[in-house]
Chains A and B, each alone.
Chain A
């Protein structure tokens, strides 16, 4: 098995053009990062607010710095795994460069606090199996996952002008030398 990591970014507020979560395999890492699965989850527990419909995009990038954002530390699936290479970085609200004009995936999201005894889409978005936004390559011997070679990254960007509420975004990825 490849050394596997769980990246769990919590309570990310949306914003127009904001890089909600990005991962970059920086030059010099000597590693290949493969992203197998991603989720968006409505794990909001704050006070009720007036919701909004959001659009988000998954796009390739070639540069990522923390900017005014924050670093997110992934967790090893096995404590015996080697450390993640220092050139592999992950930020919420980071500053992106080299964003690809080609869209990898377009996402819709109902941003509202989840409530009990409810039938709304935003409450369904707490269920992990329904929160999957990427799983190509997972459990497959045919399809490739998102493969990030040195100098390559990917991020999830909000493209709607709304700032209410928060969401959790999660990625599962591996690090290997080839």
Chain B
């Protein structure tokens, strides 16, 4: 099995339009190939009640990491394997990036998740299976490629626009690193 990692970008404030909410970067010379199998975009907002709104995001390649934001350190599935620093790869949120091709878009409700809100779809955004925004290449699939990140490139989740900027979004990425 390939070295497997879990990166959690917790409770990142929605902020202003075009904010990069989570990025994964494979620098030149790393000698690694990153393969992203799953991405979740979770509405885990549980602070003071807010009016809320529907926010639009997308998943896109990035071709340059111009200004690195807040560092996130992914957790490895097996502690006997190399640590994150050894990969030379990085993860952040609120970075400044140069964007490439867009894989897909999705909408997430930014309303607070309250008790007994089970019938409202704001709450469904906190359920992992419903919050899954990428799973291509997993499910024991031997045919389809996941998102493959080669050296000097990356991906990110960008907040495009929406009706609420006061809430948060939690992004989780499951990925592997390999030498080929």
Contacts and interface: CB of A to CB of B under 8 A. Distances in A.
Contacts of B106: 41, 43, 126, 128
* Residue in A81, A123, A128, A138 with the greatest tally of chain B CB atoms within 10 Å: A128
A118 B123 CA distance: 10
Interface in B98-114: 101-111
Contacts, number: 118
B120 interface: yes
Chain A contact patch, size range: 35 or more
Contacts of A117: 52, 109, 111, 120, 122
Nearest to B60: A75
B141 A114 contact: no
Contacts of B153: 79
Nearest to A37: B136
B124 interface: yes
B105 A10 contact: yes
* Pairs of residues from A and B, 7 with the lowest C-beta to C-beta distance, nearest first: A78-B148, A139-B139, A77-B145, A4-B145, A126-B107, A116-B52, A75-B101
Interface of B: 51-54, 56, 61, 101-111, 119-122, 124-125, 129-130, 132-133, 136-137, 139-148, 150, 153, 161-164
Interface of A: 1-4, 6, 8, 10, 34, 36-37, 41-43, 45, 75-81, 114-119, 123-124, 126-130, 138-139, 141, 168, 170, 172, 174
